[in-house]
């Protein structure tokens, strides 16, 4: 691939180029175990964006950013004033992340646009490739920060004021990134889109287990994130009797134990995770004065998500062991349903290309969730090895990477040339 006459999107998609770019981006923030640590708005995140812009520049695509740093790279259409079709994902990773989560949607989008250029394929509507800011939320909670702010689901001021564990704010980290890698163009939040389609690895085991190459994503389950801070009193571990203690970590353990009981679910559908725990002063012989933990709660059913999430604060308050507790919900997103038109278009394209496919619900959250209420939206999944993601072991097969990019290019071209 990549040489000879380009007569179709299939021949114009360059699978080697696409794969090599994944490997090249994976060097920015590479971990010793073969994964990637490129958390949002770090110098590494900035370098990955700059690398992407280097690849886009020879095509003449213009770049712009919105107030939360979401990056848009435009392939023009004949109708310059029209709302664009948008595709993309994110370049930030988990602390022990992989080479594909998010990166695939961005690189497959660029590949689709380049294939259209190589083919001389014009579209009526512009197509924007988006890199959403801070999808992972591991450095700055919450997850999907950039798309939530874009869609008005999270106030810009609150997002910009969010601080990481070392006290750096999103506002300062974003300013530093834009100073290191300046971008001239500016875009407003919430501008109209004609359609939104995001490609992503599945991050679960279903496609691989059923020998499918393409997932036409019908929905994303709902999600609620909470931050729980407990303040007690530091005291001597050897001298302070139990009933005099206000042990913040002991309270945290009681809270998490009670929450685990609340989340028991015979159907194994509830997803409940305490992924970050902090203890201060973190000294073996001092009773902890402060504890902090996060809750990530997900469910496909809005009523169940509401019922469980609404009990979290009360359960924490019932287990304070004499400490003070503050419970803050940092993001709530309801289950999202994608456009049936986009789901059937993905299915039809996969069918026409002879790619085994199925409809699938996403367990992971995605920026596409916040586009679903704004314009016809959808997602294309490809398998990943053993369904492993948010892990240095994350992997995908080159032929699947290419196939998903091909499906993406076809649907983007169709949407950008459709009459309405
Ligand atoms: C995305 O990274 C998620 O947490 O589902
Ligand atoms: Mn992702
Ligand atoms: Mn992720």
The pLDDT tens digits of the residues spanning 1-49 come to 444 678 899 899 999 999 999 999 999 999 999 999 999 999 999 999 9
Angle between helices 170-180 and 43-56 (to 10 degrees): 40
Q: What integer pLDDT is reported at residue 6 of this predicted model?
A: 80
Distance CA 347, CA 115 (A): 21
| Mutation test residue for ligand 1: of 91, 203, 297, 368, the one with most atoms within 8 Å of CB | 203
pLDDT of residue 7: 85
135 CA: nearest ligand 1 atom: 2
Mean pLDDT, residues 370-374 taken together = 96
Convert the pLDDT of each residue in 183-194 to its tens digit: 999 999 999 999
Q: For ligand 1, what atom is nearest to the CA of residue 390?
A: 2
Candidate of 137, 142, 367 to mutate for ligand 1, largest count of ligand atoms within 8 Å of Cβ: 137
pLDDT at position 1 is: 43
pLDDT in tens, 398-417: 999 999 999 999 999 999 99
- Global pTM? 0.95
Among candidates 223, 245, 203, which has minimal Cα distance to 379? 203
Question: What is the 217 CA–ligand 2 centroid distance (Å)?
Answer: 14
- Please name which ligand lies nearest the alpha carbon of 38: 3
Helix then strand then coil, % of the chain, to nearest 5: 35, 25, 40
- Residue 140 has a pLDDT of 97
Task: Look at strands 195-201 and 85-89 and give their pairing.
Answer: parallel
d(CA 390, CA 108): 19
Cβ burial of 367 (10 Å; 0-12, 13-18, 19+) is buried
pLDDT tops 70 at residue 332:
yes
What is the average per-residue pLDDT within 222-231? 98
Q: Is the Cβ–Cβ distance between 223 and 133 less than 8 Å?
A: no
Is any atom of ligand 1 closer than 6 Å to the C-beta of 136?
yes
Q: From CA 39, how far away is CA 135, in angstroms rounded?
A: 9
Q: Closest ligand to 390 CA?
A: 3
Q: H or E stretch including 136?
A: none
For the CA of 203, the closest atom of ligand 1 is 5
Ligand with minimal distance to 36 CA: 3
Ligand 1 binding pocket includes 365 (Cβ within 6 Å): yes
- How far does residue 365's CA lie from ligand 1's centre (Å)? 5
Whether the per-residue pLDDT at 89 is higher than 90: the answer is yes
Residue 341 reports pLDDT greater than 70: yes
For ligand 1, atom 2: residue with the closest CA = 136
What is the chain's mean pLDDT, rounded? Answer: 97
Distance 136 CA to ligand 3 centre (A): 5
What tens digit of pLDDT does each residue of 236-292 get? 999 999 999 999 999 999 999 999 999 999 999 999 999 999 999 999 999 999 999
């Amino acid at each position: 691939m990549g040489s000879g006459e380009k007569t179709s999107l299939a021949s114009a998609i360059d699978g080697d180029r696409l794969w090599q770019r994944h490997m090249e981006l994976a060097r920015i923030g590479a971990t010793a175990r073969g994964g990637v640590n490129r958390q949002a708005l770090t110098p590494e995140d900035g370098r990955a964006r700059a690398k992407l812009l280097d690849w886009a520049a020879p095509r003449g695509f213009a770049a712009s950013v919105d107030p939360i740093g979401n990056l848009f790279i435009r392939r023009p259409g004949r109708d310059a004033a029209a709302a664009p079709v948008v595709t993309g994902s994110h370049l930030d990773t988990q602390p022990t992340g992989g080479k594909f989560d998010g990166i695939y949607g961005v690189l497959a989008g660029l590949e689709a646009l380049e294939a259209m250029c190589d083919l001389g394929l014009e579209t009526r509507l512009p197509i924007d490739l988006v890199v959403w800011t801070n999808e992972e939320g591991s450095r700055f909670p919450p997850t999907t920060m950039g798309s939530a702010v874009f869609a008005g689901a999270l106030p810009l001021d609150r997002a910009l004021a969010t601080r990481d564990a070392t006290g750096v704010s999103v506002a300062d980290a974003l300013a530093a990134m834009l100073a290191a890698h300046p971008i001239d163009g500016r875009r407003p939040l919430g501008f109209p889109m004609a359609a939104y389609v995001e490609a992503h690895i599945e991050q679960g085991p279903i496609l691989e287990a059923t020998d499918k190459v393409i997932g036409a994503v019908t929905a994303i389950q709902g999600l609620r994130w909470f931050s729980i801070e407990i303040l007690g009193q530091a005291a001597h571990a050897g001298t302070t009797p139990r009933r005099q203690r206000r042990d913040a970590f002991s309270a945290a353990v009681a809270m998490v134990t009670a929450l685990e009981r609340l989340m028991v679910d015979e159907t194994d559908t509830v997803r409940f995770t305490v992924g970050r725990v902090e203890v201060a002063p973190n000294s073996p012989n001092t009773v902890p004065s402060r504890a902090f933990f996060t809750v990530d709660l997900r469910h496909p059913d809005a009523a169940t998500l509401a019922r469980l999430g609404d009990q979290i604060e009360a359960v924490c308050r019932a287990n304070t062991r004499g400490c003070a507790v503050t419970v803050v919900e940092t993001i709530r997103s309801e289950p999202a349903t994608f456009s049936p038109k986009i789901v059937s278009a993905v299915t039809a394209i996969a069918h026409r290309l002879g790619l085994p496919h199925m409809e699938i619900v996403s367990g992971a959250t995605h920026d596409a969730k916040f586009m679903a209420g704004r314009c016809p939206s959808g997602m294309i999944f490809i398998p990943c090895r053993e369904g492993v993601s948010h892990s240095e072991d994350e992997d995908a097969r080159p032929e699947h990477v290419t196939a998903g990019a091909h499906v993406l290019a076809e649907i983007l071209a169709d949407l950008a040339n459709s009459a309405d």
